[in-house]
Structure 1
Amino acid sequence: MLNGSLSRPGAVIRYGCSPGRGPAVVFTHGAGMSHEAFAAQAAALPERQVVCWDLRGHGESVLEPGTRFTAEDALADLAALLDHLELERPVLVGHSLGGNLSQALVRRAPARAGGLVVLGSTWNAGPLTGTERRLLRLAAPALAMVPEARLPRLMAKASAVTPEAIAATEAVFARMPKRVFLDVWRATASLVEPDPDYRTPVPLTLIRGERDRTGNIATAMPRWAAAEGVSEHVVPGAGHVVMLDAPAEIAVLLGEQLAAM
């Protein structure tokens, strides 16, 4: 449940913050989705301080007329939310775009976070092949050609595996106008900034669904795990929205990983 608001340039951010012990856990959802994506996992952490929020233009957060979604604005919103709630080195948990944003914040200001959990997201700093660069560049133009009425169903079936997850994902995608979704997609791509020498300076956990076919996640995340010397947790039978396809399994795995951070 979202119980707070934060005014930002061009937007009003809605968030929920529960009391608890230990470092806070901040959940950031993916493109086109909302805080509801992490409902099962947040509920499984009753003793931790948990923060869920909706990115600008998503869920209950407002994007003011004439304002376009950019990665820089969303990243600034996340930093501002941590300041507003006076969170000291929280663990950042992000899915898809939320994972890209969380990576970017740790990369720019490592002292702001005490840990990083990335689900179903590509490696921002990872090297890209020529094919991966072309696909990244062509993704938004390809999506722009899909009729608006068909886009939510197309994205849902590409993201989820179980009927329940497909239905939930389609419903939330349908709330966002196509023009905003395309801006969000471009913003996601803009966060990919290869740097072969960069290593994550905080404890890192990587999670993806076995059947995730979004972008280069299935190939980039194993490379990322090997480069960082961490384990990659692959959830059998789950797709891109791994926390919706396998909510109980992700809740247990996340609890174990947070306890170790």
Structure 2
Amino acid sequence: MTPRHRTLRRPGCEIHYWTGGSGDGAPIVLTHGATLDHRTWEPQIEAFAARHRIVLWDVRGHGRSIPNRSAWSLRAAMDDLLAILDEEGVERAVLVGQSMGGNLSQEIVHHHPGRVSALVALGCAGNTLPLSRRERIQAAAVVRMLPWYPRGALIRQEARASARNPRVREYVRETAARMSRPDMVAVMASLVGALHPEPGYRIELPELLLRGEHDRLGNFRTSMPVWERRDPLACHLVVPDAAHLANQDNPDFFNGAVLRFLAEHGLDSPKGRHDDVES
């Protein structure tokens, strides 16, 4: 199944996205991580499109949504995704996000919960969870360091940390090399800026929180169990034999986990769709 390519003109950027699938389940929107593109989700397309309408996209400043002629911000990217949903007539969707894509998806949950049926977050920090003093200091240090860090070294380190599969590492290197340095710095800094602890806040939607067994990026190993305890409908799973891009390192486990999660919450059938989709 080959998704259909579409474009949407947005302030400062033409957004490229793809649609496909014809299943009866809730629509699924797949958002990639920082410096990557929609091809992140190639191992998921056939499995998900068999039961769901799917939307993949290149976030502004990434992939085919280059060039980006305005200052990059997570808020602008969030508004882009909402505009895509409006363009496609999708009232509510399951948001699946890897790393940056998970942060972006959480912001939509926080600001526009009525647009979301469920959240699947892979290898990303909890935007609204509390931060320790050490974590705040580390985050501030990353923001200060990024503009001065050698671009080539940053790309090489990202590729090594992202996956165990050599082919996936090469994909990361190739995709990251296409990004402009200003966008790369802005995107990575925005992930720190996305962290805004909200005492007393809880997500009341079904959530599947996943991290790779060998993912050494971020604080996911310690934060995701906290996230799971905070939210009443959250479930935390570890993807075996996988690093940060666990959906590519171990697609069989990832795909099965997501589809079972959606079935358990009635989101794989018309009765559980909770959306208003125009063909």
Bin for the TM-score computed over the shorter chain: over 0.9
What is the rounded CA distance, in whole Å, between the counterparts of 2:264 and 2:8 in structure 1?
31
* 2:42 maps to 1:39: yes
Q: How many residues align?
A: 260
What is the rounded CA distance, in whole Å, between the counterparts of 1:153 and 1:208 in structure 2?
21
Question: What amino acid is aligned across from residue 245 of structure 2 in structure 1?
Answer: V
Q: Is the 8 A contact 1:160 1:241 kept in 2?
A: yes
Q: Is the 8 A contact 2:204 2:231 kept in 1?
A: no
| Cα distance, 1:94 vs structure 2 | 0.6
Q: Is the 8 A contact 1:2 1:17 kept in 2?
A: yes
What is the rounded CA distance, in whole Å, between the counterparts of 2:4 and 2:174 in structure 1?
19
What is the match of residue 257 of structure 1?
261
What is the rounded CA distance, in whole Å, between the counterparts of 1:154 and 1:177 in structure 2?
17
Q: What is the SS of the residue equivalent to 1:157?
A: helix
What is the rounded CA distance, in whole Å, between the counterparts of 2:178 and 2:108 in structure 1?
27
What is the rounded CA distance, in whole Å, between the counterparts of 1:131 and 1:41 in structure 2?
36
| Cα distance, 1:255 vs structure 2 | 1.5
Q: Is the 8 A contact 2:29 2:95 kept in 1?
A: yes
| Cα distance, 1:64 vs structure 2 | 3.6
What is the rounded CA distance, in whole Å, between the counterparts of 1:62 and 1:178 in structure 2?
12
Q: Is the 8 A contact 2:123 2:211 kept in 1?
A: yes
Q: Is the 8 A contact 1:28 1:53 kept in 2?
A: yes
* 2:88 maps to 1:88: no
What is the match of residue 30 of structure 1?
33
Do the aligned partners of residues 64 and 31 (structure 1) sit closer, same or farther apart at CA in structure 2, a change above 3 Å counting? closer
2:11 to 9, 12, 29: 9
* 2:171 maps to 1:159: no
What is the rounded CA distance, in whole Å, between the counterparts of 1:211 and 1:184 in structure 2?
24
Q: What is the SS of the residue equivalent to 2:121?
A: strand
What is the rounded CA distance, in whole Å, between the counterparts of 1:169 and 1:103 in structure 2?
23
Q: What is the SS of the residue equivalent to 2:152?
A: coil
The equivalences for 1:1-261 within 5 A come to 1=3, 3-20=5-22, 21-45=24-48, 46-65=50-69, 67-229=70-232, 230-261=234-265
Q: Is the 8 A contact 1:2 1:53 kept in 2?
A: no
* Higher mean C-alpha displacement, 26-35 vs 209-218: 209-218
What is the rounded CA distance, in whole Å, between the counterparts of 1:158 and 1:143 in structure 2?
17
Cα deviation digits, residues 208-257 of structure 1 (max 9, x gap): 11221212222111110121243210012311111121122211211211
TM-score normalized by structure 2? 0.89
What is the rounded CA distance, in whole Å, between the counterparts of 2:213 and 2:21 in structure 1?
34
What is the rounded CA distance, in whole Å, between the counterparts of 1:148 and 1:105 in structure 2?
30
Cα deviation digits, residues 123-169 of structure 1 (max 9, x gap): 01100000101111111333333322222111111222222222221
What is the rounded CA distance, in whole Å, between the counterparts of 1:117 and 1:260 in structure 2?
14
Q: Is the 8 A contact 2:6 2:17 kept in 1?
A: yes
| Cα distance, 1:47 vs structure 2 | 2.8
Give aligned-pair identity as a percent: 36
What is the rounded CA distance, in whole Å, between the counterparts of 2:144 and 2:248 in structure 1?
28
Do the aligned partners of residues 64 and 122 (structure 1) sit closer, same or farther apart at CA in structure 2, a change above 3 Å counting? closer
Q: Is the 8 A contact 2:129 2:197 kept in 1?
A: yes
Q: Is the 8 A contact 1:2 1:52 kept in 2?
A: no
Q: Is the 8 A contact 1:152 1:171 kept in 2?
A: no
Q: CA RMSD in A?
A: 1.5
| Cα distance, 1:2 vs structure 2 | 5.3
Q: What is the SS of the residue equivalent to 1:38?
A: helix
TM-score normalized by structure 1? 0.94
